[in-house]
């Protein structure tokens, strides 16, 4: 029995040596971070030191050292060290992107058994973090890359993660990126909002789960007194972005708003927003996508409007533009309708001027003063307080 055990052990040791020798025969294996673990396994299996030295020496091409030597020559020839470093790093990045193997990358954790020290060192540098973002975008199912993105987020660099699929792979990472992006949008003013909103909206609209999560968060934050109206504006801009790209998010919009408390009104609203057309329902709601339907019905040349319902449309549009409501903790505590009548009259006046088919361009010029007085009333999409 002991002889059999000895034979089995010798057979196992021989297999370990064979696997190790295969690795030692690969190009520049002496530069691999796993070389010490492989050497340990080889010697524990009874391997010969002379054979190892021979294989590692014969297969040493010194690629990294040659690059360093060339870099030194470039610097001596007058090139700035920073330029040399950037050129080497960019070339290395392009090679890594071209030859990256997700399966080999995932095996790193199997071999190491823990987070490799070199990985933590790499994410401390902007260049290599950018590499991981690009790789994660190209290989969204790679576990090693998803873990690395989480490491980057944990290290506080979530503000850099602007790639859509990279940010949306993990809820923990997405929530951090969402928080950082919202803070950037809120702090930068109108100009910053216009600049960064498209990328933010693209990220939020990546999928139903990201859209619902982000809109739910923004809906809660919109109830705050400080910054609530700006947060509501951002949520509505994202909804508009989704609609323009053919996504029907009307049910989510209604579910997160107060309309859900009124089932019949909610049903009518949902139908109108989905179809993009009005029906005679008399509903007062401040959703830009919904109000745009009123704008088109009242002011678009050639639009047909039911005269019996025209005054209702005008009233809803004027209400949205002029009435100021104060809310605290989901409860309305004050409502100001001081400008409702004058705004309603202005909307009706402009509607009559724009839709009067009997008036030519010359006659409209005479009404410019009237039009100017009326258009001073703000657009409902920007009237929320």
pLDDT tens profile 188-226: 777 777 888 888 888 888 888 888 888 888 888 888 878
Question: 269 Cβ partners below 8 Å, 6+ apart?
Answer: 250, 254, 259, 281, 283, 285, 287, 290
Tokens of 31: 């530069």
d(CA 215, CA 64): 49
Other Cβ atoms closer than 10 A to 267: 13
241, pLDDT greater than 60: yes
Domain presence at residue 81: no
Burial of 77 (0-12, 13-18, 19+ CB in 10 A): exposed
Task: List the domain range (segments joined by +) for residue 27.
Answer: 9-60
Other Cβ atoms closer than 10 A to 306: 12
Res. 113 pLDDT band, cuts 50 70 90 = low
Burial of 3 (0-12, 13-18, 19+ CB in 10 A): exposed
Domain presence at residue 17: yes
pLDDT of 263-313, one tens digit each?
Answer: 655 565 555 555 455 444 434 455 566 677 777 777 776 667 767 777 777
Instruction: Determine what percent of the chain is predicted with pLDDT higher than 70.
Output: 78
385, pLDDT greater than 60: no
d(CA 171, CA 180): 14
Domain presence at residue 38: yes
The residue that leads in pLDDT, 28 or 357, is 28
Domain presence at residue 13: yes
Res. 1 pLDDT band, cuts 50 70 90 = very low
Domain presence at residue 185: no
- Nearest CA to 171 out of 155, 144, 198, 153 is that of 153
45, pLDDT greater than 70: yes
CB-based contact 349:370 (threshold 8 Å): yes
Q: Which residue has the tokens 């071209």?
A: 98
One-letter-per-residue 3-state SS of 96-115: HHHHCCHHHHHHHHHHHCCC
For residue 334, the cross-strand partners are 326
In the chain, the number of structural domains is 2
363, pLDDT greater than 80: no
Q: Specify the pLDDT at position 164.
A: 55
Domain presence at residue 145: no
Domain presence at residue 162: no
CA 315 to chain centre: 38
Res. 73 pLDDT band, cuts 50 70 90 = very high
351, pLDDT greater than 70: yes
Domain presence at residue 121: no
d(CA 333, CA 326): 6
d(CA 9, CA 211): 58
d(CA 109, CA 147): 10
């Amino acid at each position: 029995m002991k002889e059999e055990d000895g034979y089995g052990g010798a057979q196992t040791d021989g297999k370990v040596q064979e696997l190790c020798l295969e690795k030692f025969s690969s190009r520049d294996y002496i530069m691999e971070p796993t070389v010490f673990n492989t050497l340990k396994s080889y010697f524990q299996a009874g391997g010969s030191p002379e054979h190892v030295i021979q294989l590692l020496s014969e297969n040493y091409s010194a690629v990294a050292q040659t690059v360093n030597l060339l870099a030194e020559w470039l610097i001596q020839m007058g090139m700035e060290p920073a330029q040399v470093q950037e050129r080497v790093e960019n070339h290395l990045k392009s090679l890594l992107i071209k030859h990256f193997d997700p399966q080999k990358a995932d095996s790193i954790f199997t071999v190491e058994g823990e987070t490799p020290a070199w990985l933590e060192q790499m994410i401390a540098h902007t260049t290599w973090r950018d590499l991981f973002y690009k790789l994660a975008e190209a290989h969204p199912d790679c576990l090693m890359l998803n873990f690395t993105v989480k490491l980057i987020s944990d290290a506080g660099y979530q503000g850099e993660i602007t790639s859509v699929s990279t940010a949306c792979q993990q809820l923990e990472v997405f929530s951090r990126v969402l928080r950082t992006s919202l803070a950037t949008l809120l702090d930068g003013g109108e100009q910053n909002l216009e600049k960064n909103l498209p990328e933010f909206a693209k990220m939020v609209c990546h999928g139903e789960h990201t859209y619902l999560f982000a809109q739910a968060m923004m809906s809660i934050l919109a109830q705050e007194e400080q910054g609530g109206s700006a947060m509501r504006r951002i949520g509505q801009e994202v909804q508009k972005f989704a609609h323009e790209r053919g996504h029907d998010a009307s049910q989510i919009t209604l579910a997160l708003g107060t309309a859900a408390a009124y089932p019949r009104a909610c049903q009518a609203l949902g139908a109108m927003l989905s179809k993009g057309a009005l029906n005679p329902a008399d509903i007062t709601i401040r959703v830009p996508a919904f109000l745009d339907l009123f704008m088109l019905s009242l002011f678009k040349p050639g639009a047909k409007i039911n005269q019996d319902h025209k005054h209702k449309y005008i009233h809803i549009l004027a209400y949205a533009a002029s009435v100021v409501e104060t809310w605290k903790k989901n409860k309305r505590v004050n409502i100001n309708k001081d400008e409702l009548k004058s705004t309603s009259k202005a909307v009706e006046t402009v509607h009559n001027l724009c839709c009067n088919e009997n008036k030519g361009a010359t006659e409209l010029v005479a009404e410019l003063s009237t039009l100017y007085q009326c258009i001073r009333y703000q657009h409902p999409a920007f009237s929320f307080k």
